[in-house]
Chains A and B, each alone.
Chain A
């Protein structure tokens, strides 16, 4: 039994405009309840929506970056339904003339690179947020988010595995960060995604299609991946139980419970939700002229894939380093600033991808947010490359001081006594002490266990406070133990 996984992704992305989609209220996360509201985003009687041109330009830049075809003539439509968080009883969205169609996103997994095709991209407004107070049996609505501009990006079902789904979301996030159009933070809800998934199972020459399941409640890329894994297994199990009859099961919406790592039914059957779409009469149909397109194109910078290629070619970096450096635009910018400040590119890349990335990770920041001036890192890299301080001592003692605000790496090397010890006599003396103190490791090494040398080497490095060159220490030990 062979099966093919088909995942389509529907992503809602909050645009990082200063004001909302149809009024002047600020777009901000975490403000006190109902403080970022006005008659328009509250849907007060008589208020009218006026489209935010900046939001449309941002969406156009995103569409351009993804190679979409931009509509000449476009319009807004009303999507009608009742819900307490929906102030007007309809959402202003786009129905049959979306801002853009087609295009695609390149995703890279271990299986290689491929393009996930896009179906459409359109603009709509966000809704408010229901807040439930179960203790009091009360529900309240916070409309701060209502009217925030969203783009909805719908892919074709080209995603063939949970890993690809993760890669798709990461690629999209990188793209919008490069374009600076969204924070794309799933925890804060700037990026929300609803994958739909089904299987084509080949059995006895025919193909059985499992019903398409839409998955909701996903608040991290990791949960998207986990939920899809669960869902694929669940659909396979359902097929094993029902056979070809599984195809007649209804389409459904399932929620993801990350505590239990499983999905559960939210809505069965294609409840033909009739949204009664019709053209928004308060906003005239509008055209995207060449000038507007050019304005949007001008905002598209060098994108991650291109920059990755350039870093590899221009600086001779490995694919791994080039990829790691370009995932965040600010990190790639930082790397270029460090090389411009005189650091040799390969070691600079290594410092950023390994050491700075680890510090950033611990501080839950990006590399750029560590705010280590590029010239200072460049100075440190040069000291190591010139042999003034060992790589190890620089990483362990010097870098933390620089991150705390230390400003002259060369002076710090003197002050902290970190200068590399090149005195071979001193190294050999310490090596002899190490051999004497580590009888068991010495015996193991001589018995053929190469790895045992590391313990003796570690002893030497510790004794010398990391200031010796590890390669010299190792060579000395091998000679003495030969």
Chain B
């Protein structure tokens, strides 16, 4: 057996359940690596080794007692820090929630506990998941394990980097406009956004409620399916949670006869030559394996970014109104309650969050609502219809996940529009509520990972995972990033 931290989730769970390895051994192997690597990649905002070991000991105790802790027995799962974990810091990478410890677990966290998983720290993100590089984290950016000078992507950059660097075999992220798939692509791992409503959002700190969805990161499609299985399904506490049966995520099969549409709008200007070459190569392999690749058109998708940047900030401006200093989080000083609100929010929120609150407040304001929010919702409805029509002709859609490989930290930080455009290929799935998965399809000459995005119709996860498994077998295997310079700058756990 190779080192424990190199194993996938399925293998680890099997080892722990089969008493070939103890959960404590698995936890220690990952803790040792995480504590060493985190100084370089800054994937974790909070990781308490004692708490991790406590959970692992409990799993081992249950196994000794003859119990089966569940399908993720002893598997460390890193949690994006916008998911509530009872009694643990949950900051959304924002100053405003720095002191916040939620009194309850998110639905997905409850489900992970019930599946025997080890909650393995809280990962870095762009503040309130607003961003595409984690540079908007109030606590510093996450770095790409394949090139520490580059971004890990965002907003779930910490989760992607943790899985890519072997700090945890699995991680949860949230995806509002590409926040799982984009960092997964840039870090060379599998990342998946489920159908809107497949996973309960209860306990996910809202950014844009109609777009947010929790999903898995893993190094293989099988492991991603294992994690999604653990968290999917109806939850009465989320009124948008679907009553549909969870699709069968374990199907296997080849690509013969599968109709894969390639939207021509996704291959226009802005797609870098490196990315285009790798994606074209991947599509060629799929064709050779029997898939029927055909060009399709989604003319409305070109409005995706415009619609997204009306809808998401509008909802965010309302969702973030609760951070007023009255009940939790930090509180500013002020002579009046209005001053206290203003001081709290002025100090607590970073620049990008403020920008989006202002954008959204404007788009919803009287006299502008119809021109902005109202019209954006109409275009969104038309986009959904166009997507449904397209799925009458094809089974899946394929494109690059991102227009470029990982960009350098600082490169786009001063230009919000350039940053927003890195979501151009991913926002459509959120606006249409459909599932999409990014899997690695090779590395650029500079050694940077590139992702292939597959998109399915609503609740089409069975086909999506079946095709992704088949594609994964044709594409280059996951490969580890180079070892970081030793030793780390600090040899201590993150806060």
Query: What residues on B are CB-neighbors of A42 within 8 Å?
Result: 327
Majority SS at the chain A contact face: loop
A272's nearest neighbour on chain B, judged by CB, is B366
B373's nearest neighbour on chain A, judged by CB, is A278
Q: Indicate which residue in B97, B206, B239 contacts A50 across the interface (CB closer than 8 Å).
A: B239
A275's nearest neighbour on chain B, judged by CB, is B366
At the interface, yes or no: B277 with Cβ under 8 Å from chain A?
no
For A73-99 the 0/1 string (1 means CB < 8 A from B) is 000001010101001111000000000
Please report the C-alpha to C-alpha distance between residue A278 and residue B373 in the assembled complex, in whole angstroms.
Answer: 9
Instruction: Please determine whether B341 and A82 come into contact, CB atoms closer than 8 angstroms.
Output: yes
Instruction: Please determine whether A43 and B327 come into contact, CB atoms closer than 8 angstroms.
Output: yes
Instruction: Please determine whether A274 and B84 come into contact, CB atoms closer than 8 angstroms.
Output: no
Query: What residues on B are CB-neighbors of A87 within 8 Å?
Result: 322, 326-327
Interface residues of A in 307-344 (CB under 8 A from B): none
Query: What residues on B are CB-neighbors of A48 within 8 Å?
Result: 201-202, 237-239
Instruction: Please determine whether A82 and B321 come into contact, CB atoms closer than 8 angstroms.
Output: yes
At the interface, yes or no: A360 with Cβ under 8 Å from chain B?
no
Please report the C-alpha to C-alpha distance between residue A90 and residue B206 in the assembled complex, in whole angstroms.
Answer: 14
Instruction: Please determine whether A45 and B321 come into contact, CB atoms closer than 8 angstroms.
Output: no
Interface residues of B in 101-144 (CB under 8 A from A): 102-104, 106
Please report the C-alpha to C-alpha distance between residue A281 and residue B210 in the assembled complex, in whole angstroms.
Answer: 5
Shortest CB distance A341–B (Å): 47
Shortest CB distance B356–A (Å): 15
Please report the C-alpha to C-alpha distance between residue A89 and residue B366 in the assembled complex, in whole angstroms.
Answer: 18
B209's nearest neighbour on chain A, judged by CB, is A281
Shortest CB distance B220–A (Å): 29
Interface residues of B in 68-110 (CB under 8 A from A): 82-84, 90, 92, 97, 100, 102-104, 106
Q: Indicate which residue in A44, A78, A84, A274 contacts B365 across the interface (CB closer than 8 Å).
A: A274
At the interface, yes or no: B318 with Cβ under 8 Å from chain A?
yes
Instruction: Please determine whether B366 and A274 come into contact, CB atoms closer than 8 angstroms.
Output: yes
At the interface, yes or no: A141 with Cβ under 8 Å from chain B?
yes
Please report the C-alpha to C-alpha distance between residue A195 and residue B294 in the assembled complex, in whole angstroms.
Answer: 65
At the interface, yes or no: A49 with Cβ under 8 Å from chain B?
yes
Q: Indicate which residue in A88, A90, A284 contacts B239 across the interface (CB closer than 8 Å).
A: A284
At the interface, yes or no: B444 with Cβ under 8 Å from chain A?
no
Instruction: Please determine whether B205 and A46 come into contact, CB atoms closer than 8 angstroms.
Output: yes
At the interface, yes or no: A417 with Cβ under 8 Å from chain B?
no
Please report the C-alpha to C-alpha distance between residue A81 and residue B184 in the assembled complex, in whole angstroms.
Answer: 38
Please report the C-alpha to C-alpha distance between residue A42 and residue B327 in the assembled complex, in whole angstroms.
Answer: 8
Interface residues of B in 350-403 (CB under 8 A from A): 361, 364-366, 369, 373
At the interface, yes or no: A51 with Cβ under 8 Å from chain B?
yes
Instruction: Please determine whether B321 and A278 come into contact, CB atoms closer than 8 angstroms.
Output: no
Query: What residues on A are CB-neighbors of B237 within 8 Å?
Result: 48, 50
Please report the C-alpha to C-alpha distance between residue A87 and residue B323 in the assembled complex, in whole angstroms.
Answer: 9
Query: What residues on B are CB-neighbors of A278 within 8 Å?
Result: 314-315, 318, 364, 369, 373
User: Knowing A45-B205, A46-B204 touch, does A84 contact B240 (C-beta < 8 A)?
Assistant: no
Interface residues of A in 400-415 (CB under 8 A from B): none
At the interface, yes or no: A39 with Cβ under 8 Å from chain B?
yes
User: Knowing A88-B322, A89-B324, A276-B318 touch, does A45 contact B90 (C-beta < 8 A)?
Assistant: yes
Instruction: Please determine whether A49 and B239 come into contact, CB atoms closer than 8 angstroms.
Output: yes
Query: What residues on B are CB-neighbors of A282 within 8 Å?
Result: 206, 209, 238-240
At the interface, yes or no: B478 with Cβ under 8 Å from chain A?
no
Instruction: Please determine whether A89 and B369 come into contact, CB atoms closer than 8 angstroms.
Output: no
Please report the C-alpha to C-alpha distance between residue A321 and residue B237 in the assembled complex, in whole angstroms.
Answer: 51
User: Knowing A44-B102, A48-B238, A89-B318 touch, does A80 contact B364 (C-beta < 8 A)?
Assistant: yes
Please report the C-alpha to C-alpha distance between residue A47 and residue B338 in the assembled complex, in whole angstroms.
Answer: 25
- Max chain A CB contacts within 10 Å: which of B83, B315, B326? B326
- Max chain B CB contacts within 10 Å: which of A43, A48, A139? A48
Please report the C-alpha to C-alpha distance between residue A45 and residue B239 in the assembled complex, in whole angstroms.
Answer: 16
Interface residues of B in 216-263 (CB under 8 A from A): 236-240
Please report the C-alpha to C-alpha distance between residue A339 and residue B489 in the assembled complex, in whole angstroms.
Answer: 91
For B427-448 the 0/1 string (1 means CB < 8 A from A) is 0000000000000000000000
Query: What residues on A are CB-neighbors of B314 within 8 Å?
Result: 278
Query: What residues on B are CB-neighbors of A88 within 8 Å?
Result: 321-322
User: Knowing A84-B337, A89-B324 touch, does A47 contact B202 (C-beta < 8 A)?
Assistant: yes
B311's nearest neighbour on chain A, judged by CB, is A281
For B306-321 the 0/1 string (1 means CB < 8 A from A) is 0000000011011011
Please report the C-alpha to C-alpha distance between residue A46 and residue B90 in the assembled complex, in whole angstroms.
Answer: 10
Please report the C-alpha to C-alpha distance between residue A141 and residue B239 in the assembled complex, in whole angstroms.
Answer: 28
B345's nearest neighbour on chain A, judged by CB, is A82
At the interface, yes or no: B145 with Cβ under 8 Å from chain A?
no
A130's nearest neighbour on chain B, judged by CB, is B337
B326's nearest neighbour on chain A, judged by CB, is A84
Please report the C-alpha to C-alpha distance between residue A276 and residue B103 in the assembled complex, in whole angstroms.
Answer: 31
Shortest CB distance B122–A (Å): 13
At the interface, yes or no: B420 with Cβ under 8 Å from chain A?
no
At the interface, yes or no: A481 with Cβ under 8 Å from chain B?
no
Please report the C-alpha to C-alpha distance between residue A141 and residue B325 in the assembled complex, in whole angstroms.
Answer: 12
Instruction: Please determine whether B206 and A46 come into contact, CB atoms closer than 8 angstroms.
Output: yes
Shortest CB distance A436–B (Å): 80
At the interface, yes or no: A283 with Cβ under 8 Å from chain B?
yes
Shortest CB distance A204–B (Å): 38
A282's nearest neighbour on chain B, judged by CB, is B209
At the interface, yes or no: B407 with Cβ under 8 Å from chain A?
no
* 19 A-B interface contacts by CB (under 8 A): A39-B103, A45-B92, A45-B100, A45-B205, A46-B82, A46-B83, A46-B106, A47-B202, A48-B238, A82-B321, A84-B337, A87-B326, A88-B321, A141-B326, A141-B327, A276-B317, A278-B315, A281-B240, A281-B315
Beyond contacts A45-B97, A89-B322: 20 other A-B pairs, Cβ-Cβ < 8 A, are A39-B102, A43-B327, A44-B103, A44-B328, A46-B84, A46-B204, A46-B205, A47-B203, A48-B201, A50-B236, A50-B239, A89-B323, A276-B369, A277-B364, A278-B315, A278-B364, A278-B373, A282-B209, A282-B240, A283-B240
5 closest Cβ contacts across the A-B interface? Answer: A89-B321, A281-B209, A276-B364, A281-B210, A45-B205
Measured CB to CB, the residues of B under 8 A from A are: 82-84, 90, 92, 97, 100, 102-104, 106, 201-206, 208-210, 236-240, 314-315, 317-318, 320-324, 326-328, 337-338, 341, 361, 364-366, 369, 373
